[in-house]
Structure 1
């Protein structure tokens, strides 16, 4: 249950939250300064618009697109948090719309057994030389 808004704080201010603070509360970044650095670097889009100010406000239903590690994340804001709580609480703040990627196929001959054998290595070399000769 949320506390009633005080007279000096309009209800409109409660419906929005700074984007850097929201990314930090939703645990996409370890520190708030890291999330602010992503935003000021121009790597964040809110509803398709590039945002370069960490003070930009996000509201319920906004779609955020940003890189995280080697993945482009697409996130829909489902709730605005009051604090940076545990991960289970943070996961309720958003809906992940990131498209699932196909797993990377394994190399030929390895089949998950570690390094290729001498025979596998010779076969690989033969395949490579036959491609070059064509």
Structure 2
């Protein structure tokens, strides 16, 4: 099968494929089961509506994918029913500019929050734990 066929030819007539399978093929999730769990828990929306895993996805659909603190808003560019390389998978969708900017801002925020903890090298030492306890006792 040629690359162009795999991008547009998907499982159903008219170039449509199940949502859980498309998320797996596009490499948003490592297994199809994980993609199904994300759909069932409401982390995936198609065209602004909560979707079921059997929903057929086609080119032009807009997906909102929430993963941890991050949110991807993408537009489906093509469908495939076979998982391929990352280069082929990235050709299946286009992330919106606003989504990319919001995700980068959230990544910077997460990095800043983790840097403010002060424990970059593992567990706190015994002295650090005593200091923490002292602060907690004062605040109560």
TM-score for the superposition, normalised by structure 1: 0.65
Residue 75 of structure 1 corresponds to: 74
Query: Which consecutive segments of 4 or more residues in structure 1 shift more than 4 A?
Result: none
Which whole-Å CA distance do the structure 1 matches of 2:100 and 2:44 have between them? 17
Give the gaps of 5 or more residues in structure 1: 4-10, 115-134
TM-score when normalising by structure 2: 0.63
Give the secondary structure class of the aligned counterpart of 1:13.
Answer: coil
The answer to whether structure 1 residue 49 and structure 2 residue 49 are counterparts is yes
Q: Secondary structure at the match of 1:65?
A: strand
Match of 1:17 in 2: 17
Structure 2, gaps ≥5 residues long: 121-140
Whether the aligned pair in 1 keeps the contact of 2:43 and 2:67 (CA below 8 Å) is no
Is this contact kept in 1: 2:39–2:53, CA < 8 A?
yes
Higher relative contact order (CA closer than 8 Å, sequence separation 6+): 2
Q: Which has the larger radius of gyration?
A: 1
1:36 is matched with: 36
Q: Residue 26 in 1 paired to residue 20 in 2?
A: no
Partner-residue secondary structure (3-state), 1:76: strand
In structure 1, distance between residues paired with 2:35 and 2:82: 16
Shift of 1:50: 1.2
- The Cα RMSD (Å) is 2.7
